[in-house]
Amino acid sequence: MPLLQRNRLALRPLTPVIGAEVSGFDLRQPLDADTVAELQAAINRWKVLFFRDQPISDEDQLRLGRYFGALTPAHPIADGLEAHPEIWERHASEYKKHRPDLGIPTSKPPRDYKGWHIDITFVANPNSYSILRGIEIPAYGGDTLWSNLVAAYDGLSPRIQSLIDGLQAVHRTGSYDAGSGPRVRRDGKPAGPFAALHPLVRVHPHTGEKVLFVNPGTTSHIVGLRERESQVLLDLLAEEVTRPEYQVRFHWSPHALVIWDNQATAHAGPIDYAHFDAPRTVRRITVAGELPVGPDGFRSQPLEGELFGVIS
C-alpha cells in the first residue's frame, strides 16, 4: 500500500483493516507533543504500529510508554526485570513448557484458538496499550498476528450485535496466564487468582467504536445463559475474532518494536514456536487502562483479585 505522509510520521499501511509500519524518526530521541498526538491518532486508526531498526534501551522503551499514560507492573502474575519491574521479558522456550492452570474456572473457556488473546483481561482494568520490543530475534519464524476487534464486531449481523450489546462475560486466569510463577510477586502483591466481569462489547474510550470484547484465552462464560448457550455463542464470537480478513501478520526483525491498542485488538504469537528451536526474546511494557464500559453503560467489575495498579 502507498506511503501516507503526515506532518511528522510516514505511515505505510499493511492491510486495509489493521496495521501500519512507521518510519522517519528515532525512538531513542524524546518526542514532542505534536508527534505523540500523531502517534495516538495513527494507533486509533490502524490499531497496531510497527517500527523497524530501533536499537533502543530499556529506558527508551519506558519513556516511550509514558507518552501514552502511566505504566503498570510487568504483569499481575509474573515479576518483571529486577532493575525495571515494568518490563516483562519472554522467551520462546517458555511457550513449550507445561503450564497447569490455577484450577479455578467453573466453566470451560472456548477452544484454545492457537494462543489468540487480549492482554490481561482477567483483571477489571486491563492495560490500554502494549509495547513489545525484539531483543533476540531468529532469522525466520516467531511471527505475531493481530486482529481488529472493531472490524470483528462490525462484521456481525445486526441481530447478533443487538443480542451481545447488553451481555456480560466472566474472564479468569487460565493456563496461558497462570504459568508456574510465585503466588506473591516481588513487590508483595498477590499473583492471582484473578477474575473480572466485563461487557461482551466495549465502547472504545477514544474513538467511540464498538469492540468485540471476547478473549479466547480467558473468557470462561457469558452471564445469564445456559452453559451450552454460552459455549456456542463464545465459540462463534471467538471465530470472528480470529478471521483472517481482520488480521495482520508481522515478521520480526532485529530491533523491531510494536505498539498496539489492547482495547481494540487481539493477538497471537509466536504462532509457530512449536516448530523452531532458535532463541527468541522480547520485552513488553503495558500502559494502564480504565474499566471497560459497554454500550448499555455497564462498567467492568472485579470478581476476584485486585485492580491492575500503576508503577511509574
What are the sequence ranges of the domains in the chain? Answer: 4-304
One-character DSSP codes across 17-42: SS-EEEESS-TTS---HHHHHHHHHH
Report the C-alpha gap between 279 and 201 in whole angstroms.
Answer: 38
Give pLDDT, residue 263.
98
Q: Which three cell numbers stand for residue 195?
A: 477474575
Residue 158's Cβ-count burial label (10 Å; 0-12, 13-18, 19+) is: exposed
Catalytically annotated residue among 221, 267, 280, 283: 267
Looking at CATH, the fold of the domain delimited by 4-304 is given as Double-stranded beta-helix (3.60.130)
Give pLDDT, residue 101.
38
Report the C-alpha gap between 289 and 291 in whole angstroms.
Answer: 7
28 tagged catalytic: no
119 tagged catalytic: yes
Query: Any bridge partners for residue 233, and if so which?
Result: none
Give pLDDT, residue 92.
83
Residue for grid cell 503495558: 286
- Amino acid code (one letter) for 37: A
- Tell me how far apart the terminal alpha carbons of the chain are, to the nearest angstrom: 38
Report the C-alpha gap between 222 and 214 in whole angstroms.
Answer: 10
Mean pLDDT by 10 residues, the chain (312 residues): 64 98 93 95 98 98 98 95 96 63 45 82 98 95 96 98 98 66 78 94 98 95 97 97 97 97 96 84 97 98 96 88
Give pLDDT, residue 190.
85
Query: 124: which DSSP letter?
Result: S
151: left (phi over 0), alpha (psi -120 to 50) or beta: alpha
Report the C-alpha gap between 118 and 122 in whole angstroms.
Answer: 10
What's the helix, strand, coil split of the chain in %, to 5? 20, 25, 50
117 tagged catalytic: yes
Give pLDDT, residue 99.
40
Q: Which three cell numbers stand for residue 25?
A: 524518526
Give pLDDT, residue 108.
53
Give pLDDT, residue 104.
38
pTM of the model: 0.91
Residues with Cβ within 8 Å of residue 114, at least 6 apart in sequence: 242, 268, 271
Catalytically annotated residue among 60, 79, 119, 177: 119
Catalytically annotated residue among 75, 84, 117, 198: 117
Query: SS3 of 119, please?
Result: coil
Report the C-alpha gap between 125 and 253 in whole angstroms.
Answer: 32
Q: Are 292 and 285 in contact (CB under 8 A)?
A: no
Give pLDDT, residue 8.
73
